[in-house]
Chains A and B, each alone.
Chain A
Amino acid sequence: MAIKLPIFMDYHSTTPVDPRVIEEMLPYFNEKFGNAASRSHAFGWTAEEAVDYARERIGKLINAQSEKEIVFTSGATESNNVAIKGVAEFYKDKGNHIITSVIEHKAVLDTCKRLEKEGYVVTYLGVGKDGRVDPDDVKKALTDKTILVSIMLANNEIGTVQPIEEIGKLTRERGVLLHSDAVQGVGKVPFDVQQMNVDLASITAHKMYGPKGVGALYVRRSKPRVRLVAQMDGGGHERGMRSGTLNVPGIVGFGKAAEIMMNEGKEEGVRLLAMRERLRKKLQSSLEEVFVNGSLEHRLPGNLNVSFAFVEGEAMMMAIKDVAVSSGSACTSASLEPSYVLRALGVGDELAHSSIRFGLGRYTTDEEIDYVSDLVIDKVKHLRNMSPLYEMYKDGIDLKSVQWVAH
């Protein structure tokens, strides 16, 4: 079978909408176009019913106790904002301390930074070389002033899965709320808000084969009942937590996407893991000095983040331009700093500049894995042949001993 180019291997950035999801969404654009907040007629009721069904499906995926615990938003950026700012504001008389990690998504980190300006105190926990937060560090950081701990389920760059259950035990014991940005992990690795004692969780449809611009925030309603201050003023939708007319077709799609994940996520994970390992083994057996960033064991099945030493990430992406991947290299961002996540692992800036993230997903095939690994191997060799660092390495020069003239 001929390979169709370009190949998408960037499933952490977003995912295509599953055709089964599109099919369910379609009637809600015209036929059943009602406003879910219209209480007085059938158009509204139909829409509301569809929205509530989606709540139920999404709630099931994370084991919420009631569909009422699902609040729809415009995406996980908003969910993270509402969760953290909303809790901080509501519980400010109880305390002003928040604990999070240095490898969180910017939607969490920048929200915390803003709160710091408003007088809150935030502890940013570091991670080990494996890319994981040590629950012991959470324990040590908890104070009488701590109101919230926010730790992601799985990291978007390196795919490492955090020990949420262990952290949940600690926060529950201390009566501190636990929020988790579960965007990358939900449906792909176990995530059960009861078992893990999670009180708030952010998810988004477009990372699980649903449409973009629809997200949800899980807000626990009992034991404990979580309260938050809405960050969007308006008609008081979503039980006052998030005003704004609901994106009914998007929400319907989100619900279907969640159901598919619930039914197929586990099997899909097994398949993705096999492909991921096939890719990794091919790369590491054909090339020297290829390093996996973060724990292999506690990792999303579809994630492979590797550094090809002596080759710069953006040059690599350009060389394999028919394959969509991403890099932690500074050159791929507006800032001149390499990925803060890789830095937090202590990977070293030169290896951070050499990192490539392969994200495998529902439509990745074995043929694509073979094509991509052959191509990458070929291009890494090509780029190393023009890399002065590789030549020095081959000559036995310790690159760390060289006096570099940085500019």
Chain B
Amino acid sequence: MAYSDKVIDHAENPRNVGTLDKDDPSVGTGLVGAPACGDVMRLQIKVSDDGVIEDAKFKTFGCGSAIASSSLATEWIKGKKVEEAEALKNVDIVNELNLPPVKIHCSVLAEDAIKSAIADYRAKQAAKR
């Protein structure tokens, strides 16, 4: 299968690979997918007091398109408000990366990862109060 240049770029030079402290209350962690399905994404956000995502990191087990989708997702949500990040749709990723139909699930997973990280962050904030 031929990959788009953007997928290749992100897969070869992934942005924001890494790990944030999952016990930090300002960090939200999303872990989605399953090893048996061939893709697992972990996406983490660190949110400032005024609700801005000041850092985002990911690690992905998956094909080039899955890596690219999560890499792009972290790039996009960094600097955004949590609500803005939440509004991101998988089709945006599909369009940006030119994903073929068989790879759309990679973008869905990235959207899920963002939502799951935000949910985790909110749960932590709620628990704090």
Chain B associates with chain A: yes
Given contacts A407-B109, A407-B112, contact A315 B36 (CB under 8 A): no
Given contacts A350-B36, A405-B33, A407-B105, contact A388 B63 (CB under 8 A): no
Q: How far is the CA of A358 from the CA of B65 in the complex (A)?
A: 23
User: Distance (Å) between the CB of A320 and the closest chain B CB?
Assistant: 12
Q: Is the CB–CB distance between A407 and B108 below 8 Å? A: yes
* A interface SS class: helix
Q: Is the CB–CB distance between B102 and A404 below 8 Å? A: no
Q: Is the CB–CB distance between A315 and B11 below 8 Å? A: yes
Write the A311-347 contact mask toward B (1 if CB under 8 angstroms, else 0): 1111100110000000001111010101000000000
Contacts of B41 in A (CB 8 A): 388
Given contacts A391-B19, A405-B34, contact A312 B63 (CB under 8 A): yes
User: Distance (Å) between the CB of A197 and the closest chain B CB?
Assistant: 41
Write the A105-135 contact mask toward B (1 if CB under 8 angstroms, else 0): 0000000000000000000000000000000
Given contacts A318-B3, A386-B59, contact A404 B35 (CB under 8 A): yes
Among B31, B34, B112, find the residue whose CB has the most chain A CB atoms closer than 10 A.
B34
Q: How far is the CA of A349 from the CA of B37 in the complex (A)?
A: 7
User: Distance (Å) between the CB of A382 and the closest chain B CB?
Assistant: 10
Q: Does B78 contact A (CB under 8 A)?
A: no
Contacts of B8 in A (CB 8 A): 318
Q: Is the CB–CB distance between A387 and B105 below 8 Å? A: no
User: Distance (Å) between the CB of A187 and the closest chain B CB?
Assistant: 32
Closest to B65 in A: A331
Q: Is the CB–CB distance between A314 and B63 below 8 Å? A: yes
Closest to B103 in A: A331
User: Distance (Å) between the CB of A402 and the closest chain B CB?
Assistant: 8
Q: Is the CB–CB distance between B32 and A389 below 8 Å? A: no
Q: Does A38 contact B (CB under 8 A)?
A: no
Q: Is the CB–CB distance between B60 and A388 below 8 Å? A: yes
Within 8 A of A (CB), among B18-39: 19, 31-39
Q: Is the CB–CB distance between B38 and A404 below 8 Å? A: no
Q: Is the CB–CB distance between B59 and A387 below 8 Å? A: yes
Q: Is the CB–CB distance between B63 and A329 below 8 Å? A: yes
Q: Does B79 contact A (CB under 8 A)?
A: no
Query: Top 3 A-B pairs ranked by shortest CB distance?
Result: A404-B34, A350-B35, A349-B36
Binding site for B on A (CB under 8 A): 310-315, 318-319, 329-332, 334, 336, 338, 348-350, 353, 385-391, 399, 404-407
Give me 14 A-to-B residue pairs in the complex whose CB atoms sit less than 8 angstroms apart, sorted by A's number.
Answer: A312-B62, A315-B11, A315-B62, A315-B66, A319-B11, A331-B62, A336-B37, A348-B36, A387-B60, A388-B61, A391-B59, A405-B33, A407-B34, A407-B112
